[in-house]
Amino acid sequence: MSYPVLKGISNVLVHTPDLVRYGSKPAREIPKDPGLIDRLTAHLRGYEEAVAYPPHQVYIGNLRPEKLWDIERPWFRNLKGPGARFGKCGEIMPQAEFYGFIKIVDEFELVEFERRFISRVRGKLAEHPLITGEDLARLGVGIEIDALEAEIASGALPLYEGGRIAGCFRQGHDEDENLFAPVLLENLSAKASGILALRYVTRDLEGGGRTIDYVMSCGEEGVGDRYQRGAGNLAKAMAEFAGCLNSSGADVKAFCCSPVHTLVLAAGLVQSGVFKNVAVVGGGSLAKLGMKMRGHLARQTPIMEDVLGAIAVVVSADDGKNPQMRLDSIGKHDVAAGSSPQAIMTALVSKPLNHLGLKIKDIDKFAAEMHNPEITEPAGSGNVPNTNYRMIGALAVINNEMPASELNGFVRRYGMPGFSPTQGHIAAAVPFLGHAREMILNGEITRAMFVAKGSLFLAKMTKLSDGMSFILERNTGENNGS
């Protein structure tokens, strides 16, 4: 049967060490402990280290996830070569260029940079494959350092590069806390990183971004004002700067599980014929920079949460080639399902597989919550992917699909090490999409299952958990896309 396909996937990282101080956790902790900023700064990584870090190379598609099994941990001490900025799925953008890109997509003169800094960044961005002449014109010329210092003295948020002031971020409103500088910086960072991912995913499409009918944002930001907090629509804002001029859009909110919810909704729009090409995009979460910094500082490790992650996926009508999303068996966590780990995995894994007459071991690779364990373990959160894979393996044992003796090998055979930044929506299964698509197209695997979970109770509105899953499968080519 014909099902929607994933025609393109991009993964982007932005190295933003000087924005770590504005993550939610550091921003709350630094005022209580003024000496913390110096300790935090001393443990920040340089751009070259961030690029060479093996999980980052996996994220942008230069290294397969399973290769991490063979690299001795800690990975941050076993950097394999200089690494590459650009990968099959995207890039790792340095902070200075990202500042310039933020300026390019800022339509309300919220951000300003020093004149010499803008001049340097302009030269770098002029060499970028996705930056246009129109983009460069939007950079402006910057302001003198004394004018910049005056802006900061009057209340603008300072922006640092290498520990020195390079720019500032202005308030959007004097009384609306939803438009204060820290919130707008968070939202504009999500917008800019999401646009970059969208540009990557549409550049190889015939017709480019103009072929996209609808854009759906699955990020964790809360774009809005005092009357409609979290109202959006960041999707349409990103579509504008990504050249998706024939599209409309909307945001989908579901905490960490949002990308999988959004992909399923996008596939439903395509399958129904409402739209032919839908782009799903998630920008980076600035709020989660430095989230687990206390654990890293206590163990004398680098501040690992120093990158913003972004994703973009194009869901299209069946073309007879690209991997298909099996819409006849979507896993979902029903209200009545219960919130025990076994109940959640039964709803998201066993139930949809049983519907297709498949067993757990009929899936070649599972992608669950792909959090990098070198970020989570120092903070006491354990190895999240390993825990999830063992739960799936244990479910196979409970279902008499596998002997208990195979449980230890299950993780390595059907799973992979975590390699994603700990921004919940980015880590929730989707970082593996690019690898899975490539592996299916190459005939290395037939099926991959993407399992995402969410914590709805964080909003204090319900105690329910959440989750959704789907199967990505080799296209038999029986439908020619006509």
pLDDT surpasses 70 at 91:
yes
**What pLDDT digit, counting tens, does each position of 123-171 carry?**
999 999 999 999 999 999 999 999 999 999 999 999 999 989 999 999 9
Q: Which whole number is the average pLDDT over 11-28?
A: 98
**What pLDDT digit, counting tens, does each position of 424-434 carry?**
899 999 999 99
Amino acid 467: pLDDT? 96
* Domain encompassing residue 384: 324-473
Residue 422 in domain: yes
Number of structural domains, the chain?
A: 1
Confidence label for 34 from pLDDT (cuts 50, 70 and 90): confident
Amino acid 481: pLDDT? 41
Confidence label for 480 from pLDDT (cuts 50, 70 and 90): very low
Residue 22 amino acid letter: Y
**What pLDDT digit, counting tens, does each position of 417-472 carry?**
999 999 989 999 999 999 999 999 999 999 999 999 999 999 999 999 999 999 99
Q: Which whole number is the average pLDDT over 278-288?
A: 98
Residue 102 in domain: no
Residue matched to tokens 């919940």: 424
CATH number reported for the structural domain that contains residue 361 in this entry? 3.40.47
Half-sphere exposure of 327 (CA within 13 A, CB side): 20
Residue 167 in domain: no
Full DSSP string of 294-336: HHHHHTT------EEEEEEEEEES--SSSPEE-TTS-EE--GG
Confidence label for 482 from pLDDT (cuts 50, 70 and 90): very low
Residue 252 in domain: no
Q: Which residues, in sequence order, are CB contacts of 237 under 8 Å at separation 6+?
A: 191, 223
N- to C-terminal Cα distance for the chain? 13
Output the average pLDDT for the chain: 96
pTM score = 0.97
Residue 222 in domain: no
Amino acid 59: pLDDT? 98
3-state class percentages of the chain: helix first, strand second, coil last, to nearest 5: 45, 15, 40
Instruction: Fill in the DSSP letter of residue 93.
Output: E
Residue matched to tokens 């690299």: 71
Residue 355 in domain: yes
Nearest to 128 by CA among 161, 162, 94: 94
Residue 377 in domain: yes
Structure tokens at 159: 């922006």
**What pLDDT digit, counting tens, does each position of 313-348 carry?**
999 999 999 999 999 999 999 999 988 989 999 999
Amino acid 360: pLDDT? 98
Answer yes or no: are the C-beta atoms of 307 and 16 closer than 8 Å. Answer: yes
Cα–Cα distance between 254 and 272 in angstroms, integer? Answer: 23
Q: Left (φ > 0), alpha (ψ -120 to 50) or beta: where does 230 sit?
A: left
Residue 165, classified by CB atoms within 10 Å of its CB into exposed (0-12), middle (13-18) or buried (19+), is middle
Residue 412 in domain: yes
Structure tokens at 382: 């354990």
Q: Which whole number is the average pLDDT over 395-415?
A: 96
